[in-house]
Amino acid sequence: MVSRCLCLFLLVGLVHGSSLTADFYEYEHSLKRNMLQEDERKFAGWNKDLNEDEEIVNNYLTYLKWQEFQNTRAAFIPSRPIQDYLNQIKASKVYEVLKKFPKGGSLHLHHNHVVSKSIILDIIINSSLYENLYVKTSEPNKWKLDILVNPPEGWTKLKDIQDDPKKFILTKLTFLNVMDDQARKYPTDSAIRWSLLEPLFDRTGSSLVNHVDIIKKHTEALLRAALDENIQYLETKSKAGKKVYILDSSATETHGKRFIDTDSGDKELQSISSVVENFIKTHPEFIGYKRVVNSFRRYSKERIMNDLHKAVNLSKNYPNLIAGYDLVAEEDLGYSLMFYQENFQTLLAAHDKLPYFFHAGETNWPDDLLTSMLPEDPVSTAANLYDAIILGAKRIGHGIALANHPYLMKVLKSKKIAIEANPVSNMLLGYVQDQRHHPAITYFRYGVPVVISADDPATFGYDLFTADWYEVFMGWGFDLADLRQLANNSLQYSAMSSSEKINAFEKWIKAWNKFIQEMKTEACGLHFNSDQPFISNIFPRESYFPGSTKVEVFGRNFERSICQTVLCKFGDYTSKALYVNNNQITCNSPIYFKSSYQAERQKASFPFSISFDNGTTFLSTNLTFTFMPCYSRIKSVHY
Ligand SMILES: *[C@@H]1O[C@H](CO)[C@@H](O)[C@H](O)[C@H]1NC(C)=O
Ligand SMILES: *[C@@H]1O[C@H](CO)[C@@H](O)[C@H](O)[C@H]1NC(C)=O
Ligand SMILES: *[C@@H]1O[C@H](CO)[C@@H](O)[C@H](O)[C@H]1NC(C)=O
Ligand SMILES: *[C@@H]1O[C@H](CO)[C@@H](O)[C@H](O)[C@H]1NC(C)=O
Ligand SMILES: *[C@@H]1O[C@H](CO)[C@@H](O)[C@H](O)[C@H]1NC(C)=O
Ligand SMILES: [Zn+2]
């Protein structure tokens, strides 16, 4: 509630026909502006409060963002194709700090496509299985990699292929390495990009990482990669099925692969479970892991039914491990959720409801253009959003098309259905060309819960979770409180039970406090020899007795105040200020004490000055701030 005064002298002035001062409009305007901004914040629903230490760290991040912007404004990285800027991102100070930022969980990942291809190759090359690692060279550009005994024609031992086999094969395994001129030329043509990406999923997928000796090392590498970037919790997507194998030369039909797993993939899950358990023992800051069972969205209804039953069985057998179910692959080419509606109905009828985490609305296409070539399924991609909501999805993957459906945004907000945003993936697959226009900014500010993840960082070829956070931080206008909310959302909207979440938040808060202390020390150790600050103007220049008014101070070179108490001085009255950025500081005008008799009759102007060193020295300006006398309050201001 904003209260203000209406001035007696002003009324008198009006009565006598004299004109209002420009300052009057400024004051009125500033009140409306504050109210509009405050209402906008409340609408989004996030807690933006920071304590004193967090305030300093926020100042520091804001300062680092400003520096990064100064260094990159002519080629602003979030607006550029990420493949050309990865090294620059990784070398930046912003990246270094964001890497340490406690991100909570990463909830939208495809299991076999997160650990760096280089690490997966090292794991195999370091083991005796290197002798069995073959590459299919018979069809150029359709490379395949597999662990085999006595492979068929057309396969060559990787070891024998080149002087530096690892380096050579890495050029065939990631999207960034196989991206062609056509893809570069048409950056929003997602179909071209998918056609390059999709074959890579097979190339270093399940057939490599599920050898009985590799699966544990692969899982460990996954958890380590996450924790190394301060991600404490993971949910990954993978199909259910016979996965774990040993090599056995008598299994001639499969060229040496003997599957020792069940049809539902129990062994794989048990193996992963035990690795996670051990990892938490040695890394108690790690929270945990859950699996989303997925199917390929071009499977027949029969096959989907079978997968759904597998998922239900698994979630009954491993209730703490199985999070739910999803459908994956290029949505524009696959079957719609409507197509499988009977399958979901069947589960519902059997009271076997699974939590759903559907990829939905990952498309550039308008609602009325049908992209799927499947004649029996005339439902457009964007329409999957309706069905995901009706089927009770807990979260929605990507949801790019939601931007064209503000009413559905409202539904997601009220049902607390989170959007899993994967900014780098969205850019690489042609859905978002410039991160400054990513639709998840709108979702977040609308109050739809948003989480940040990385989809397939290794198969894309950028490997690192923090690259997505760099894009968000630099391109989305987010501050420390916003980033904190993203981390919070990643635990709150995870598949963890409420008791698991209590434990998770405890671990996360520990990591948060550690981060704040470390960054505060860093921020307060900075020395600024740069140019002296100067003030260009304040807004508004006037307020009314007796309330305090938010006064914006504009100028340059405010960075020296990051770790300092900044004071604004209005005549003899000082008040504590808040660093906004290098060019802006906010302070509150003091409550001006005067007898009501005087206040009703006299306006009082005071010189404005500011201190960047907690009051030791004040920088004087030529600006004055005026308290207007008044005789009554008006209850509210409307913009
Ligand atoms: C592979 O072996 C080398 C040398 O023993 C070791 O330094 C490296 O960490 C190993 N890498 C993996 C991924 O196991
Ligand atoms: C699920 O479990 C039931 C009961 O054990 C079993 O009869 C059924 O075959 C399983 N379904 C699948 C698809 O594995
Ligand atoms: C997470 O966010 C929720 C809702 O915004 C809030 O109630 C809760 O206190 C937050 N938890 C932490 C640990 O910040
Ligand atoms: C700023 O100055 C006040 C009053 O002199 C003092 O109490 C306070 O501790 C100082 N704060 C800092 C952060 O130095
Ligand atoms: C104040 O105004 C005077 C005269 O216009 C000018 O010379 C001086 O530089 C100004 N000082 C500041 C701090 O702006
Ligand atoms: Zn995905």
Q: pLDDT by residue (tens digit) across 96-122?
A: 999 999 999 999 999 999 999 999 999
pLDDT score at 13: 35
Ligand showing the shortest atom-to-Cα distance for residue 555: 5
pLDDT tens-digit profile of 431-483? Answer: 999 999 999 999 999 999 999 999 999 999 999 999 999 999 999 999 999 99
* Phi–psi pair at 122, nearest 5 degrees: -60, -40
Residue 263 CA: which ligand 2 atom is closest? 14
User: What rounded mean pLDDT belongs to the chain?
Assistant: 91
Q: Is any ligand 5 atom within 6 A of the Cβ of residue 621?
A: yes
Q: Is any ligand 5 atom within 6 A of the Cβ of residue 626?
A: no
Q: Is any ligand 5 atom within 6 A of the Cβ of residue 466?
A: no
When pLDDT is cut at 50, 70 and 90, the band that residue 4 belongs to is very low
CA distance 155 to 527: 61
CA distance 398 to 455: 10
Q: What token pair was written down for 7?
A: 């001035």
Query: Picking from 456-470, 484-498, 577-591, which range would have the lowest pLDDT averaged per residue?
Result: 577-591
Ligand showing the shortest atom-to-Cα distance for residue 421: 6
pTM flag (> 0.75) = yes
pLDDT score at 307: 98
pLDDT score at 597: 56
pLDDT score at 472: 98
Query: Picking from 241-250, 323-332, 557-566, 625-634, which range would have the lowest pLDDT averaged per residue?
Result: 625-634
How large is the angle between the packed helices 498-524 and 480-492, nearest 10 degrees? 160
Ligand 3 center–CA 487 separation, angstroms:
10
Average confidence (pLDDT) over 590-614: 76
Checking if the pLDDT of 633 tops 50, the result is: no
pLDDT tens-digit profile of 368-402? Answer: 999 988 889 999 999 999 999 999 999 999 999 99
pLDDT score at 382: 96
pLDDT score at 285: 98
Hey, whose CA ends up nearest to atom 2 of ligand 2?
313
Cα separation of the two ends of the chain: 13
CA distance 117 to 114: 9
Residue 614 CA: which ligand 4 atom is closest? 1
Hey, whose CA ends up nearest to atom 5 of ligand 2?
313
Please give the domain boundaries of the chain with CATH numbers for all domains. 4-44+528-634 (2.60.40.10), 102-113+188-242+261-512 (3.20.20.140)
Checking if the pLDDT of 492 tops 70, the result is: yes
Checking if the pLDDT of 634 tops 70, the result is: no
- Strand stretches in 220-312, DSSP E: 231-238, 245-247, 257-259, 288-296
pLDDT score at 528: 85
Checking if the pLDDT of 408 tops 90, the result is: yes
Checking if the pLDDT of 192 tops 60, the result is: yes
Q: What single-letter amino acid sits at 211?
A: H
Average confidence (pLDDT) over 55-78: 96
